[in-house]
Every structure is written in structure tokens, then in C-alpha cells.
Amino acid sequence: MQIPRISVLTPAALALAGALVLAGCGGSKQGGPQQGGAPAAPAVTVMTVRSEAVPQVTELPGRTTPSLIAEVRPQVTGIVKQRQFTEGGEVKAGQSLYQIDPATYQATYDSAKASLARAEANVYAARLKAQRYADLVKIEAVSKQQNDDAVAALKQAHADVAAARAATDKARIDLEFTRVASPISGRIGRSAVTPGALVTANQATALATVQQLDPIYVDVTQSSADLLRLKREIAAGKVQRNGSDAVPVRLVMEDGSLYGVEGKLAFSEVTVDQGTGSITLRAVFANPKGELLPGMYVRARLPQGVQGAAFLVPHAALSHDPRGNALVMVVNGEGKVEARPVKAGQSLGDKWVITEGLADGERVIVEGLQRARPGTQVQAQEAGAAPATPPAAPAAAAK
């Protein structure tokens, strides 16, 4: 009974399957052009460049050095009785740093004063005798020889007084030198001796070192080749020299932060170092808070002129070819990408200074470089502009 039913349904099932296949093929043919069409142009972000006057800033490496430095040494020999400063603290010029035992120098000074008093007393006696003989020789009561001897004795007494006074001054100076004072104001380092140590006059080892850190110097070096190139550009009119006599200098710290106080260029060395081929420049910075310490590695930014016509492009927009030449990608009037060789002069902040290869009004790609290939069509959008709203998809396509 079931065999005839199967034979009746089989043709209907086949017909239904064929209709479904034809419908599927028709749908595929209708959707074929949408799926197999050309891909949309990639979107990139561009920046329209304009020429402008750009400062010619040179960043040079250097180190900080104290403006004044004094190594404290004893000028008399003796035992250190006490140290009168705090290591690493601030000291003033003339402040007492060490006290050397003054006992022997005090005794020498007292003895010198006594010798001076004795010499002055001898002058008094010799003067009276010389005056008396001067009157007596007129009446021939004494011989001329005796008068001459009295005059010579007076002069010798005066000489003895001068010698005694010099010895007294020397003893007084030695006594004052037992108090070792700071020759300058500044910050003092650690002490090389402790109370009870024996020190000698003009010894090789310094007792301590005082450094003046406000203001502080920054010594930087510049290649003589770079200096010659700058002079040639100034002579050719490409770079205009700064008119200000005081060249301002900004300082970049070791951690990359910018020092808050602006300095100025003090002088430029007139001789090229034969070993390094560089010239030393010295800048002066105020250091009221003591942030700059001697020996710190820093980078100084010196404006050395003004580039007349240059373009600023972000760092991300610049790339290099296999030969190392600088390139930027620009979008031409047809909306296609072009690889443009350029000359990058220097880095100014987060931008490169382009001196050759670009013209006013050109659009440089700053974002989407991975999607931009030379010769490809792109959709350029100006940096900072609101993103374009994509067109709404048709309802049939959405379904």
C-alpha cells in the first residue's frame, strides 16, 4: 500500500527542489554586482601645509659646571679642633669652616708684640741721645764721630722697629689663619678631615670644596662643520641672523623635561678642539632652587637664526626610503597618493622642519599611511575636521 504513495510524491518533491534552486540562482545573479564590485577608496587624514618663518634652533649636548669653585686648604700647620659647618649645606663668604689649635700661634704673636715694644723703646732712647749729641757737637763738647754714631744708632733703632712690626704682622696673620674661612659663598661638600686631624700648610688634599651654583654654567659643544654650514646659509640668505645680542637658551633636563628658567649665551670659544673638532659654548642659568647640580648631562636649545620659508609637518608624516632619503606622502589634485622626496632640516618640538620638496597648499598625509600607496586613490580628510557621515545603505541591501 505504501509503495504507490512514494512513487506519487517523488515527482512533486523534485519539482519543488528545482524551483528553489532556480530561485537561489536568480538571487545570486541579482546580488553578484554588489559583491564583486571595486573596493572603496581608503580614508586618510591630511594636513594642508603653508610656508612660514621657522626659528633655526640647534640642540647641543653639554654638562653643568659651577660658576665659582674653591678648594679650601689650611695655610698653617696644626691640629683641627672643630669643624664649624654642615656637610652639603650653604655657607657664606668669610664664614668659619675649621678651627685649628691657635695656642702656639697666639704665643708667637704675643712674643712679636713684646719685641716690637722693646724696639720702640730703643728708638726713644736713641732719639734723645742723637738730639743731645747734635747740640754738643756744635760747641765741640763731643767729637763728630760720636755724633755720627748716635745718628746711626737712631736709624738702626727705627729699622729694628720696622722688622719687629713686620714680625708682629706675620704672627697676627698666622694666628688668623688658624680660623679657616670660606673664600666664596655657595654649597660645601663633604669634609676630608675630622677634629683631631693634623693638617699642614698648603697641603695637596683639600679640606673641603665650596661651589657656587647660582648662577650655574652649562658648557655645550657644537661641531665646527655645523657652524660653517650655518654661516654659509646666513651668507646665502636662507637663514636670517638673530638681531638680539643676548641669545636666549632653553635647557632640556636628563628626564626630558624643560627647565623652567631661560638662560643666555655667555661666550663662544674662539678655538676648535683638535681632538673632537668642536667648539665650546657657555650658557648661564639662574639656579635659585638648586635644581641644577654640577656634572648633570643636559641638552641646550640655542636659536641661531630664522629659516625664511619652511614647512612644519608632524613626525609621523615623515618616512624614509631604503636609501635613507626622507619622504612624505601627498594627495594630488586627482585624489591620488604621491611619494614626495623632501629635505628635513631639524626637529622643532613634535614636528620636522621641511626646507625643500613641498609647496604651499599641498596636502600631506599625517594619518593612514599604512593604507596609502603611491598611485592609489584615497579619500582625504583635513586634520581636525569633523568625520564625514557615511551614506545610508538601501533597505534591500540591508535585508
As a whole number of angstroms, the distance between CA 67 and CA 65 comes to 6
Q: What is the DSSP code (8-state) at residue 274?
A: T
Closest CA to 346 of 322, 366, 318: 318
Closest CA to 161 of 195, 123, 198: 123
Cα–Cα distances (Å) from 90 to 178, 184, 212, 290, 296, in that order, read 22, 11, 9, 11, 20
**Could you tell me if 76 and 201 are in contact, meaning their C-beta atoms sit under 8 angstroms apart?**
yes
Per-residue H/E/C for 283-298: EEECCCCCCCCCCCEE
- What is residue 108's three-state secondary structure? helix
pLDDT at 31 (0 to 100): 42
As a whole number of angstroms, the distance between CA 72 and CA 207 comes to 6
Residue 204 burial by Cβ neighbours in a 10 Å radius (0-12, 13-18, 19+): exposed
- CATH architecture assigned to 56-66+211-306: Beta Barrel (2.40)
Cα–Cα distances (Å) from 237 to 110, 188, 232, 309, in that order, read 76, 50, 9, 11
* Pure H helices in the chain: 2-35, 103-136, 144-177, 224-236, 395-398
70-208: CATH class: mainly beta
Cell of 244: 638680539
Tens of pLDDT along the chain (399 residues) come to: 344 444 444 444 444 444 444 444 444 444 444 444 556 778 888 888 888 877 777 788 899 999 999 999 999 999 999 999 999 999 999 999 999 999 999 999 999 999 999 999 999 999 999 999 888 888 888 888 998 889 999 999 999 999 999 999 999 999 999 999 999 999 999 999 999 999 999 899 999 999 999 999 999 888 877 777 767 766 665 555 555 556 788 898 888 888 988 888 887 777 887 888 888 888 899 998 889 999 999 998 877 677 777 888 888 888 888 888 888 888 888 888 888 888 887 777 788 888 888 888 888 888 888 877 888 888 888 876 655 555 444 444 444
**Could you tell me if 364 and 46 are in contact, meaning their C-beta atoms sit under 8 angstroms apart?**
yes
Cell of 331: 594627495
As a whole number of angstroms, the distance between CA 390 and CA 225 comes to 54
Q: What is the DSSP code (8-state) at residue 384?
A: T
**Could you tell me if 60 and 302 are in contact, meaning their C-beta atoms sit under 8 angstroms apart?**
yes
pLDDT at 39 (0 to 100): 66
As a whole number of angstroms, the distance between CA 374 and CA 356 comes to 20
- CA angle, corner 48, sides to 325 and 370, nearest 5? 50
Cell of 68: 665659582
As a whole number of angstroms, the distance between CA 329 and CA 338 comes to 6
Backbone angles phi, psi at 338, to 5 degrees: -125, 140
pLDDT at 119 (0 to 100): 93
Per-residue DSSP letters for 27-66? Answer: HHHHHHHHHSSPPPPPEEEEEE---EEEEEEEEEEEEEEE
**Could you tell me if 364 and 49 are in contact, meaning their C-beta atoms sit under 8 angstroms apart?**
yes
43-55+310-382: CATH class: mainly beta
Closest CA to 46 of 371, 278, 389, 368: 368
| DSSP-derived pairing of the beta strands 379-382 and 43-48 | parallel
| DSSP tally for the chain: helices H, then strands E | 5, 21
Q: Where are the domains of the chain?
A: 43-55+310-382, 56-66+211-306, 70-208
Place of cell 603611491: 374
Q: How many residues does the chain have?
A: 399
